[in-house]
Amino acid sequence: MSRYVVSKNGKFGFIDQAGGEVIPLQFDMAGKFNEGVAWVVITQDERRLSGFIDEAGEWVIEPIFSADGWHNMDGSLFSEGVAGIQADNNKMMYINRQGEPICEPIYDQVHPFCEGRGLVCRDGLYGYIDSTGQEVITCQFAINNTFPEHSYFSHGKAMVRFNIGEEGLETSNNFGCINKQGQTVFDPEDNYANAYKEGFSMVGDGHNYYFIDEEGQVPFERTTRQATSFSQGLADFLDFGTGLFGYIDKTGEWVIKPQFKSTFRFTEGLAVVHTKYGKSKGCINLQGELVIEGDFKIILPFENGLAKAHEQNKSGYINKQGDYVWSTAD
């Protein structure tokens, strides 16, 4: 059973895969469903409060938590049985499926658990806690390029920024790799790194980027000027010579030749491509064939058969045939 968050006239609700409204638009804010529940916000006695509902729209964790100023909906996504929530002191903590705290509300940011570790921020520095609420890797790292998700654990490893100076100021831009015990797997050498995906991480100096494997070795020599990652065996890649994007495989060979102004990662067998900046041509399949065509401004990656899309005068969800199942124009 899939549920998709929608909004209209300042209220949020949920539709099913056919576009039918299954949970009325009644919430002030809502996150997407994961592990069968979704974070939602209501106003009660002039206070913004948050809790979690199930796929029938029933409360499974009552709205007793503060939602003032809290907009990190990814942080409130249940993953591995826990979710981030804001406490009355405006600090963050994690709760379990019973709504019970598993740690003290001392964090400025919390992020979804991955492989038994949750990325947290305290006093401007990042570390990791486990599912018992113990800070197993002390907050000591800087943020990863303003994209904290690049420091989530994957394949037992996380890419983090080392060498923090006084008051959390960075004295070096270098990233390295740690394991779940916080031990360095290989030393920092580059000032950009993203999370491991399908066994590879992209690293670079801000101008040139290349892939490394899980041992920190370079599997092929092809470089690019825009960071990317592998998904479904392919990575969208900028070709130096033409200035166009295509897709390479894990040997660095072109599978879909450079021909697009911009590209996005594959999800569910489809990837969004652009022929003009700011305008989406549609979606291609893994063979590079155009299977969805239209005058879209935005198409986000497909999730459970639908993708968020936006045109000149409407937005909503499209299916894999490119047809709207729900839109703001309805």
Nearest to 128 by CA among 169, 90, 80: 80
Phi and psi of 168, rounded to 5°? 80, 5
Q: What is the CATH number of the domain that holds 256?
A: 2.40.128.630
Predicted pLDDT at 164: 54
Range of the domain at 312: 232-330
In this model, does residue 104 exceed pLDDT 90?
yes
pLDDT above 70 (res 145): no
Cβ-count burial 120-148 (b if 16+ within 10 Å, e if not): bbbeebbbbbbbebebbbebebbbbbeeb
State mean pLDDT over 103-109. Answer: 95
Q: 106 in a domain, yes or no?
A: no
Q: What pLDDT sits at residue 226?
A: 86
Highest mean pLDDT, choosing among 48-62, 184-198, 216-230:
48-62
Residue 237, in any domain of the structure: yes
Residue 295 located in a structural domain: yes
pLDDT digits (tens, 9 = 90+) for 283-299: 999 999 999 988 888 89
Q: Which region among 158-162, 186-190, 245-249 has the lowest average model confidence (pLDDT)?
A: 186-190
Instruction: Give a yes or no: residue 288 inside a domain.
Output: yes
> What pLDDT score was predicted for residue 167?
52
Q: What is the pTM of this model?
A: 0.88
Tell me the mean pLDDT in the region 121-126: 91
Mean confidence (pLDDT) of the chain: 90
The answer to whether position 322 is within a domain reads yes
Q: What pLDDT sits at residue 275?
A: 78
Q: Using the predicted structure, report yes or no on whether residue 318 has a pLDDT greater than 60.
A: yes
Go through the chain and tell me how many residues it has.
330
Q: How confident is the model at residue 169 (pLDDT cuts 50, 70, 90)?
A: very low
Domain count, the chain: 1
pLDDT band at 170 (very low <50, low <70, confident <90, very high): very low
Residue 198 domain-assigned? no
